[in-house]
Chains A and B, each alone.
Chain A
Amino acid sequence: MKKSKITGLLLAVVAGAGLFASCGSDDSSSSPEITKVWARTSPMKTSLGAVYMSIASKDGDELTDVSVDPSIAAMAQIHEMVMATADTSMSMTSDAPSGEMVMQEVDSVVIDAGGSVDLKPGGYHIMLLDLVAPLELGAKFDVTLTFSKAGKITVTAEVRDEAP
């Protein structure tokens, strides 16, 4: 009985040390890994843009807010494209075989521990509203992402015609 208690304590200490070690040696191990950050060239006469990326997280995290500098766009929001179904309030104008796609703003994007989420056309995207200037091929700009655990992370988006 006594022995097992001590073993348990030892285990806790070792585990604790392990935790410290992993934090100390690599601060970023718990931060989401963000790759393939790109924004589409914005068509003429439009003031909307979309930013895409891939977010992976070892420990799991939640993207709760997005922002860009006001010199790029007035506002940034997280959006998701969804297929409208018969039980939504959407009134369908015909019984089309393919459903209508609608865009909706979402509060957050959850990344499961050990998993990843792609923000990609037809799924999630960061929508830029009231672009100050068109997004032109090859340009780069910063996007600040706020995660519930990792806090603020700034990444750089490259303007491209299509996904990298």
Chain B
Amino acid sequence: MAGVVLPMLMILASCGPDASSMRGIVRNEPLRVGAVTLTDVTAEGEFADHGDLFTMKAQAGELLVMYFGYTNCPDLCPTTLAAVRTATKNLGDDGANVDLAMATVDLERDTPEVLNGYLSSFSDHFHALHASSQDELEAAENAFLASSTVTKDAAGKIEVGHSATAYVIDDTGSVLVEWPFGIDNKAMTNDLKILLEQTSSNN
């Protein structure tokens, strides 16, 4: 019994008061991605008017959900993005304080037009990010400890591998929680509620 209780106490102690009720992964030392920039190709929605580069931070007092994916992704990406969409809806009016960003890992096939259309299916306030080079993409991925691989076989069939985590970022560029694939919309709603409360009490 003591063997069970002790580790639990340690978890509670190490995560602080709010983290214990979080459903995603909360690192003791959060990833800091505020220095990451990616080419912004957003052409629709709230952020259609933007500079050349998007900086990986939420708007003041808000949250940003960031995902590395690609539009020819029939399973993981739409599963996660649909859960984010539902979670944002579950927040009611507060959902407006959660923006979505997706950086495509499939630079060749995902044109800005395709990427914008795709993201508009999941959010009214999204940032469509399309690195102008593989190096730019990899630098961003490295900051998130993410990775992706696009390979083409002899027949020209393209295979994409990618780490399928979604990240919630605050207005300083700290990753507050990481959602590995499989986290459902209820868990996301739970985490976003806690983080939004935290964010508004800090401001």
Contact = CB atoms under 8 A, between A and B. Distances in A.
Interface of A: 40-46, 48-50, 79, 81, 84, 90-94, 96-104, 121-122, 125, 127-128, 161-162
A84 B75 CA distance: 16
Nearest to A92: B147
A100 B163 contact: yes
B22 interface: no
A73 B1 CA distance: 56
A127 B115 CA distance: 20
A144 B141 CA distance: 40
A44 B117 contact: yes
Given A46-B71, A46-B114, 9 more contacts: A41-B121, A42-B78, A49-B74, A79-B75, A98-B145, A98-B164, A100-B149, A101-B181, A128-B74
Interface stretch (B10-18, B93-101, B154-162, B169-177): B154-162
A121 B75 contact: yes
Contacts of B146: 94, 96
B163 A98 contact: yes
A43 B149 contact: no
B76 interface: yes
A90 B116 CA distance: 29
**How many B residues are at the interface, by size bracket?**
35 or more
A50 B73 CA distance: 10
23 contacts: A40-B79, A43-B81, A43-B121, A43-B122, A44-B121, A45-B71, A46-B71, A90-B151, A93-B148, A94-B145, A96-B146, A96-B163, A98-B163, A100-B163, A101-B164, A102-B159, A102-B161, A103-B75, A121-B75, A121-B76, A122-B75, A127-B74, A128-B74
Contacts of B122: 43
Contacts of B75: 50, 79, 81, 103, 121-122, 125, 127
A76 to B, nearest CB: 11
Contacts of A42: 78
Given A100-B162, A101-B164, A103-B159, A93 B76 contact: no
B83 interface: yes
Nearest to A98: B163
A90 B149 contact: yes
Contacts of A127: 74-75
A46 B72 contact: yes
A127 to B, nearest CB: 5
A45 to B, nearest CB: 3
A158 to B, nearest CB: 15
A128 B185 CA distance: 25
Q: Which of A81, A92, A96, A99 has the most CB of B within 10 A?
A: A96
Contact of B76 (A81, A104, A161): A81
A41 B147 CA distance: 27
B142 interface: yes
B121 A93 contact: no
B78 A93 contact: no
Contacts of B161: 84, 90, 100-102
B124 interface: no
A150 B9 CA distance: 53
Contacts of A93: 138, 141, 147-149
A97 B164 CA distance: 11
A94 B147 contact: yes
